[in-house]
Amino acid sequence: MSHAELTDEEYARFCGLIYQTAGIRIADNKRVMVSNRVRRRLRATGVPGFSQYLALLMSEAGREELPLFLDAITTNETYFFRDPHQYEWFSDTFLAEILHAAALHHHTRSLRIWSAACSTGEEPYSLALKIAAKESRFKHWRITILGTDLSGAVLKSAEAGVYDARSTRLVDPLALKTHFTADAASTKFTIKPEIRARVTWQQHNLLNPLPGEPFDCIFLKNVLIYFDAESKKKVVRNVIAALARGGYLVIGPTEGVHTMLGSLERVQPWLYRQTA
């Protein structure tokens, strides 16, 4: 089925809907990208055109289609141990600090970590691998690693835990052998069940608060570059509210939120701590 070109009005309406529901501001030069990705949903649903698809998304009948539309629009590209220095800090400094605090009875024998906008799961699994490397020191601990994302599709992929060689290229060869199962051609690597069991998954929109116990460490990377200032402020408020006292926030290098983190102590350009 062929479809007419996306009109200015239709493009503006799609961009408005994306911003309204996900807080993501689509640039003016992304018309071709939006058009191509919406066409996938037209083919999948059999809806004949862009305007009819917009009408579906805005209707009660389109409530189930809206998450699939957002899945198609949002870009999800990541890999294991992206920004290696942050994982070195997590393993060598943060985990050691938590263990020391617990030994002094200044911290319970529990650890809560949130990987926000985790995409296909490489980030929370990378954190799980770092903890697994210190397995003997975390016996009898209650450890929670939560991976959240707006997209239900990428969370299903994350839960399956199957990755290609490009995604796993920074995984230590011994860890790759120990914690992954390779296919016959060594082109696909599946996380073993004991590591998959360490991570729980939840669909979540960063514009909304995340209820529950606070987290000792939150990773919020490579997502806020798509948000405008007002949306960033909402996300930052929600994330800080979920951070335990003494907890750390790890951000990406281009998030553009440094001026919004005034209530946190700056440790590194990419690392902040909740001291209030």
The one catalytic residue in 13, 25, 31, 37 is 37
CA distance 263 to 273: 9
CB atoms within 10 A of CB 276: 9
Query: Going along the chain, which residue ranges are E strands?
Result: 110-116, 142-149, 162-164, 180-182, 188-191, 199-203, 215-220, 243-251, 265-268, 271-273
**Are the beta carbons of 123 and 82 closer than 8 angstroms?**
yes
172 counts as catalytic: no
Q: Which tokens sit at 197? A: 């069991």
37 counts as catalytic: yes
Angle value at C-alpha 118, between 19 and 91, nearest 5 degrees: 140
The one catalytic residue in 41, 149, 198, 216 is 149
Q: List the one residue out of 240, 230, 255 whose CA is nearest residue 210.
A: 240
CB atoms within 10 A of CB 70: 20
**Are the beta carbons of 272 and 265 closer than 8 angstroms?**
yes
- Catalytic positions: 37, 149
